[in-house]
Amino acid sequence: MMRSVIAPGLATLDRVWSARTEVERVTRFVVLAAVGTVLLWAAAKVQVPFFPVPATLTTLVVVLIGAFYGSRLGAATILAYLTEGLAGLPVFAGTPEKGIGLAYMVGPTGGYLIGYVAAAFLVGLLVERGWGRSIVAMIGAVFAGNVALYAAGIAWLGYLIGFDKAITYGLVPFLAADALKILIAAAITVAASRRIAR
């Protein structure tokens, strides 16, 4: 029996697109993962002039995928997106201008790309455990996802250029924009959860 208010990811999938057989579950998985990678691709190409690199909507879409898809499908969708990039498709911000494939992925943004997987999984997991029921808890879930994302990003960037520079150029300039994205993601998720529950 489904609870009246349930994790948005599970509620969205179960109530909007019911899948009872294995074929239906696989079909839903493939279609939703494909939709998610297209959204990520589009978000990476929406660039706002910023220093030291342009800001994109990718992190916002990553946490929303985690919240609405859940931990497993969310992480799998991000992995599919990374696989597309690894295969040479210009799905990331700055591609193909700044390179493609593995050469791009081991560059300065490589840690953040891995962080996308951790962020989507963690946000999805927390939402599955009930964190999507209130705006305050959802802000906490999205904040935790951002911490996971930046931990991976700063770790790799720090290895490449030093941790002081990594924090100065890879974290601090983005805090204000990411705070706004956290609020937006939390508001969207909770609003959708309540509408679905009704």
Task: Domain of residue 147: give its range.
Answer: 8-197
Q: Classify residue 71: in a domain, yes or no.
A: yes
Q: Is residue 3 part of a domain?
A: no
User: Is the pLDDT at 82 greater than 80, yes or no?
Assistant: yes
| Average pLDDT of every residue of the chain | 87
Q: What is the CATH number of the domain that holds 29?
A: 1.10.1760.20
Distance CA 185, CA 139 (A): 8
Mean predicted confidence (pLDDT) in 161-176: 92
**Res 50: pLDDT:** 66
- Mean pLDDT of the region 70-90: 95
Q: Is residue 192 part of a domain?
A: yes
pLDDT, position 8: 45
* Position 116 in a domain: yes
Query: Residue 11 above 60 pLDDT?
Result: no
**Alpha carbon of residue 80 to chain centroid:** 12
pTM, two decimal places: 0.88
- Band (pLDDT 50/70/90 cuts) for residue 1 is very low
Work out how many domains the chain is built from and give that number: 1
CA distance 7 to 147: 21
On whether residue 2 sits in a domain, the answer given is no
